[in-house]
A and B are shown apart, each in its own frame.
Chain A
Amino acid sequence: DSGVTQTPKHLITATGQRVTLRCSPRSGDLSVYWYQQSLDQGLQFLIQYYNGEERAKGNILERFSAQQFPDLHSELNLSSLELGDSALYFCASSENRDNTIYFGEGSWLTVV
């Protein structure tokens, strides 16, 4: 158990819908990362937050957004969902002084 908690673990939704994935980082970790993993594109970095502020942005679509709240939990919002958005979405967290990333168990999203 890495200490990073993600909910929901599985989600099935229809095209055009919107979902929110939630992540609680390890206790004390200020950085939160979101990654998307799919069979055809591998592990893709989406976005990073540090203590509530966006720190780095990767291959995140405009239909996706994220935020980190004062209690350091983070949410990834996926809207206007398409079939191709079906993937495993990982949240990860790290301390400030140690760049080691610890991953949650992921949220499986299936868009039908």
Chain B
Amino acid sequence: AQSVSQHNHHVILSEAASLELGCNYSYGGTVNLFWYVQYPGQHLQLLLKYFSGDPLVKGIKGFEAEFIKSKFSFNLRKPSVQWSDTAEYFCAVNSGGYQKVTFGIGTKLQVIP
């Protein structure tokens, strides 16, 4: 069964700091990978996704993620965070087929002005 690990459960950064959130998955076959963001009091929104092709994926709001197949990783990055990036970030994986998407436990990001 596929699983997703997010190593950092709570991250605190100052504005303008660089961000990298780790995500590792367990499934060894073809995967589709996603990052979602949940702003306080809101629903989950898609940040970016990887299905195939260029392993460096660019998403909304300046976020990007890199798929490294050999490391089973899909880390989320942003060069310079803003206070408005304060949110919870979820990594998710889907192995195709029945489309069941497995989510990580989430990482709460707090950006201090």
Q: Beta-carbon contacts of A37-49 to B below 8 Å, as 1s and 0s?
A: 0000011010010
Whether the Cβ atoms of A100 and B34 lie closer than 8 Å is yes
Whether the Cβ atoms of A90 and B99 lie closer than 8 Å is no
Whether the Cβ atoms of B96 and A99 lie closer than 8 Å is yes
Whether the Cβ atoms of A56 and B98 lie closer than 8 Å is yes
Interface residues of B in 25-80 (CB under 8 A from A): 32, 34, 36, 42-46, 49, 51
Q: Is A101 an interface residue (CB 8 A)?
A: yes
Whether the Cβ atoms of A90 and B106 lie closer than 8 Å is no
Q: Is A103 an interface residue (CB 8 A)?
A: yes
Q: Is B86 an interface residue (CB 8 A)?
A: no
Instruction: Tell me the bound Cα distance from A45 to B90 in angstroms.
Output: 13
Instruction: Tell me the bound Cα distance from A81 to B4 in angstroms.
Output: 30
Q: Is B24 an interface residue (CB 8 A)?
A: no
Whether the Cβ atoms of B105 and A100 lie closer than 8 Å is no
- A106's nearest neighbour on chain B, judged by CB, is B43
What are the 10 tightest A-B residue pairs by CB atom distance, in nearest-first order?
A56-B100, A103-B44, A103-B43, A99-B94, A105-B43, A99-B32, A43-B103, A42-B105, A99-B99, A55-B98
A-B contact pairs, 14 of them (CB 8 A): A43-B44, A43-B106, A45-B100, A45-B101, A48-B100, A55-B100, A92-B44, A99-B94, A100-B34, A100-B49, A101-B34, A101-B46, A103-B36, A103-B43
Q: Is A64 an interface residue (CB 8 A)?
A: no
- The interface of chain B, by Cβ under 8 A from chain A, is 32, 34, 36, 42-46, 49, 51, 90, 92, 94, 96, 98-103, 105-106
Interface size for chain A: under 10, 10 to 19, 20 to 34, or 35 or more residues? Answer: 20 to 34
Interface residues of A in 69-94 (CB under 8 A from B): 90, 92, 94
Whether the Cβ atoms of B43 and A55 lie closer than 8 Å is no
A43-B103, A99-B99, A103-B36 known; 9 other A-B pairs, CB under 8 Å?
A43-B90, A45-B102, A48-B98, A55-B98, A101-B34, A101-B92, A101-B101, A103-B43, A105-B43
